[in-house]
A = this chain, B = another copy of it.
């Protein structure tokens, strides 16, 4: 699949299915703990990670000058490419909001696909109005500068107990956000589509009253039934 096709495919698959595929490849720790949708009804997003890195604040660093320094969050926002999913590492701190409505509005203008953090954002109502999809652990009123020092972007980061590298693919939906290592994206997308098709058929059988035994996972007999159905559908 081409890269846009891969992202389109990933956008059509639940993170639940994607983590199952990743588990089968030996990856267990890919779900970013503490990343829940900020607003009801947010669509699933998929895109390459654009990482931000914060450290706990230190008073000698928290000067007004920090806001217009070359490593400010403002400069980071202006470096974000269209389609990326921003992943912010807040060093475990969730009692200050990393961004409010103005920065989220600008990210939206730059066609950022979404913002993911295990920390907090601020001005929940204002952010929701910008339309930027956000996954986070909380809304917290205080400004980032009260608790956090921004130290750079596009470095490897930790978010929700998971390592994320720039250009890894992030997918986020109602179950939170996950990371797919860049090198595995194509095969994961392909297998996930097939898995979703199989599970849709299984769910349909269950809704018709079939018991789980032999169905989930598929026994050889049910595997054959599914393949016959699948061939018929695709043929």
Partner-B contacts on A (CB < 8 A): 14-16, 18-20, 23, 26-31, 33, 36, 55-61, 64, 67-68, 74-75, 77-78, 91-93, 95-97, 100-103, 105-106, 109, 122-126, 138-143, 145-147, 149, 151, 155-158, 161-163, 173-176, 178, 181, 183-184, 199, 202-203, 206-207, 209, 211-213, 216-217
Question: Nearest chain-B residue to A73 (Cβ)?
Answer: B212
In the assembled complex, the Cα of A187 lies from the Cα of B74 at a distance in Å of 28
Let me know if B58 and A140 touch, CB within 8 A.
no
Question: Nearest chain-B residue to A147 (Cβ)?
Answer: B28
Contact of A216 among B55, B102, B184 (CB under 8 A): B102
Contact A95:B125 (CB < 8 A) given known A28-B146, A56-B162, A141-B178 = no
- Most chain B beta-carbon contacts within 10 A, residue among A176, A209, A217: A176
In the assembled complex, the Cα of A87 lies from the Cα of B20 at a distance in Å of 24
Let me know if A33 and B162 touch, CB within 8 A.
no
In the assembled complex, the Cα of A19 lies from the Cα of B97 at a distance in Å of 11
Let me know if B74 and A141 touch, CB within 8 A.
no
Let me know if B146 and A23 touch, CB within 8 A.
yes
Smallest distance from the beta carbon of A56 to chain B beta carbons, Å?
5
Smallest distance from the beta carbon of A93 to chain B beta carbons, Å?
8
With A102-B203, A102-B206, A141-B178 known, 16 other A-B pairs at CB within 8 A are A14-B125, A23-B143, A26-B59, A28-B146, A28-B147, A29-B59, A56-B163, A74-B216, A78-B211, A101-B199, A103-B212, A123-B175, A124-B174, A125-B174, A139-B174, A141-B175
Let me know if A158 and B212 touch, CB within 8 A.
no
Question: Nearest chain-B residue to A64 (Cβ)?
Answer: B217
In the assembled complex, the Cα of A86 lies from the Cα of B104 at a distance in Å of 33
Question: Nearest chain-B residue to A138 (Cβ)?
Answer: B36
In the assembled complex, the Cα of A124 lies from the Cα of B14 at a distance in Å of 10
Let me know if A163 and B61 touch, CB within 8 A.
yes
Smallest distance from the beta carbon of A135 to chain B beta carbons, Å?
12
